[in-house]
Structure 1
């Protein structure tokens, strides 16, 4: 069997005229030609058909009875043929997240395979990840520096859409005082309204502690409560430090690194739990090129901000004028002479800071 090429000899399927072809393996190969020249006959009716036929023949007699048997294509020899996948031209998607695996649905089975039989290992030391007991979790927390302030959190909603009113009501009835919703601490007595169409993270603030030698009993009770509400997972939010995660399910005993139990969504780039946090599973990301946005030789009044130069939107101009007024940005000075922090505001905005500005539409 050829290891570096797919060799086809004497292909006569449909309109192929006894051709011999050698196609390199592990490379992107395009078959092109005039209409009726035999492209589909070679790719689909010869190469794919033979690959599918060999695959079906490798199955048991019981399994073969449920699959259609394909005829052997009219060809003398095919060597170096791997299992073949054929994608219908009519089902291709323009979604940038689509791949050969997702279009053929093989990706779904691979995710299930990795989630069900996969064995997690510590990314630091490489040892297999094992479960942690309450005592082990407490010992690791008590190993933090003395006087460390922390919160014991129980994750009850992780990346799920909905208003979660019933969950919040159960938390209130059980006597808890605070929750953390999407990173923000809220009192449970507040009127909490969540967008039902957005994903939310909700954790119960089970306890607030300062690390000392005499808190072991209280800490153990709090950890057990958090594990119960968090389905075996507890977060330790170290004030002015990193957030730690411990699990009754999987954790490295040597390094203390914890993981959630393997689920199919961890292996999906379409899920925020499996996607790259930088590109969000798209493989690309958008960034601002300052040279395409500003002309350093012109002021804002003279059209130095290129996106605003031809804009007739009174809304955009009102917003820009308010920002310039609040941060004392001189609109008559060339942008190249403005302080760097002012240019930063014009390019990237104000972060989470909000400002109000007057705006009157054409209707008054």
Structure 2
């Protein structure tokens, strides 16, 4: 969502960085200008154990900090770049939100989606499926131009596979608010979901069944959730009924 791009620009714009003639590229661990040459900006080295699982140890040169000393010496609001990568989204918002409006917006989108606990430098491979989906939504909200209803601009189709998996009820509410925002901007959200509070808020429900696996595959009912609830053929409807007194 370009949050780190804003952070790199913030560091490159500091007086210390300007005196050292450092650019935003020097604060990237994906390029060779400022990253540690030994670990290539990974912060760790892989030791092949042959018959055992590979072992990952902190880089002996940068001690896991990813960058060269001249980059680590630059500080903004008391933080070096490697320390910023260890901050959570919530902590980064507190530290830099008022300094950089563009960064503040990106971080607020992540907070709205209940991702304030993620570290800025957290590897994508460590994220769950639900977190990955919400990050993709955050990217669209932060960067994509809005498609307003009534305009000719085409909206996007978002296909989500159980994005509420593992979420607290409060985070589910936040997710619904964000999905509603996407719809209001003219986009379409298609979701595979079993969470009743989410199904209740849908504009249109397609109930597949009657069972799962080989016993399913047929459309049992479709329509607004309030019409699915009283349908005697829909098992989903039976569980929805208490939500529509």
Normalising by the smaller structure, the TM-score range is under 0.3
Between Structure 1 and Structure 2, whose CA radius of gyration is higher?
1
**TM-score normalised over the length of structure 2:** 0.26
| Structure with greater helix share of residues | 2
**TM-score normalised over the length of structure 1:** 0.20
| Structure with greater strand share of residues | 1
**Larger RCO, structure (CA 8 Å, separation 6 or more):** 1
